[in-house]
Amino acid sequence: MARILVTEEIAETGLDQLRQAGHTVDVALNLTKEQLVEQIPGAHALIIRSATKVIPEVLDAATDLIVVGRAGIGLDNVDVPYATKKGVMVVNAPQSNILSAAEQAMALLLAQARNVPQAHTALVNGKWERSKWEGVELYGKTLGIIGLGRVGALVAQRALAFGMVLVAFDPFVSKDRAKQMGVQLLPLEEVMRTSDFISIHLPKSKETTGLIGKEMLEIAKPGMRIINTARGGIVDEQALFDAISTGKIQGAGLDVFESEPCTDSPLFSLPSVVVTPHLGASTFEAQDKAGVQIAEQVQLALAGEFVPFAVNVNAAEASETVRPFQNLAESLGKFIASLNRSLPEELNIEYQGALAEDDTRILTLSVLKGLFGTGTNEPVSYVNAPQLAQDRGLTIKETTSTTAKDYVNLITISCGTHSVSGTLTGPKSEPRLVMIDDHKVEVPPADNMLIVRNDDTPGRIGVVTTILGDAGVSISSMAVGPSEEGNTALMVLTVNSQLSPQVLKDIEAAPGIIYAHLASC
């Protein structure tokens, strides 16, 4: 089993889950960079939160690292491109704190509207200041949501309950989807001009750093209040200080800062600014969910299975339609590699039927994982399979068709002179190979398969089975399919053990045999 290095405090629920799976969990908190470099060799997984810096020096020292797991959402402390280059999967727990983050945004929204922290501070200091801390109602006010993802959507849902008018900026959300949520999509500038409050729910990136800066604050509706529970640096803190100081912006509720931990800022001197020390995910429930979720993701990565929250896998989360086909796609990749005997220059993948209407990128990754898992000596994952294809000059062509001739769904892979098609059949959606090199067959994938193409003349089956019998090889199952032209036939045999090179040579040398290949899928 794997060695898992944990360098920050994670909920024991998640750690216990990893131990129960048989993994060794080494907890080493508060490591310096030098100590982490010393500890990382031999670790198959590294679990962190926000403090540990996973930089190239650390990744270079990792001799066996398969996955880095961040118990939370943000990945500012992980060099994801370098990890991808090294073939290391990076996963996070994006759904663990969405409720807590949304509730924190609402808490700051209410604190801003009603001046709760300021009134509390005054009262405990002996001042009864009812008129000074008069607030505003949320009802009827316009809330601009910048980023309508998971957290933004939950904030919208809760703000609707307060009777707020909702507008939003998010170029990756359709108008129909926003309309279903009771939100009107607008350009960012228009959101700034019309909103009484804005709440920010964007990831920090090159494009979003400084997004709410001097220009945006100048066009903002006078008296706007700004809530940021997303990431520090999206709001230009100096520009915000200036805008509040001049009265253009009424106030702000900030849970995140450009540099953290932040214990000193000009914004702290402004009475209309409410601040908290990055508490968005700081609930018992969120921390427990983060620990459990990251443990699940790490276990999947270590098992070589699809990891839904791998951030450096270039595929959307697999849908309910696509997910059952992942193992089949990987099996087809293994099979075509076995059949072709070498890495092809071009790989054609065709998705037919209802499957073609969905996002099939993860299935293409599964095919590549199977293909390279058969033909390379290095570990292959959903992360490094595309890089392996690029490094080896493999051209991948994908086509889709919503109609399939004989099946509801069909995946066909072809390269060179070989092709294989597969589908799922029956009430249990069992995988089947249904076409090999234009010969119709129906066989389940297996570890040891013998594929024999021969002249369609009497006695060929007897020749092959006699050679296998003389070698003491037992046949578990067998299917025979003629070609459409009728001049050749294909035998697919599942055998109980790997065949020796000599047995394979004897079969290939027999009269009427065109080829004999061993396959595994």
Active site residues: 231, 260, 278
Encoded tokens for 451 = 């594929």
Q: Which residues contact 455 (CB under 8 A, 6 or more apart)?
A: 487, 488, 489, 512, 514
Cα gap 364→330, rounded to integer Å: 9
Q: Return the biggest CA–CA distance within the chain.
A: 104
Q: What is the DSSP letter of 221?
A: P
Apex CA 194: angle with CA 191 and CA 198, to 5°? 55
Looking up tokens 């200091």 gives 125
3-class DSSP state of 177: helix
Among residues 255, 256, 244, 253, which one has the least CA distance to residue 220? 244
3-class DSSP state of 379: coil
Cα gap 97→251, rounded to integer Å: 26
Alpha carbon separation from 178 to 148, 150, 171 (Å, rounded): 8, 12, 11
First-to-final CA distance of the chain: 24
Burial of 328 (0-12, 13-18, 19+ CB in 10 A): buried
Q: What is the 3-state secondary structure (H, E, C) of 443-492?
A: ECCCCCEEEEEEECCCCHHHHHHHHHHHCCCCEEEEEEEEECCCCEEEEE
Exposure string for 230-266, b = 16+ CB within 10 A, e = fewer = bbbbbbbbebbbebbeeeebbbbbbbbbbeeebeebe
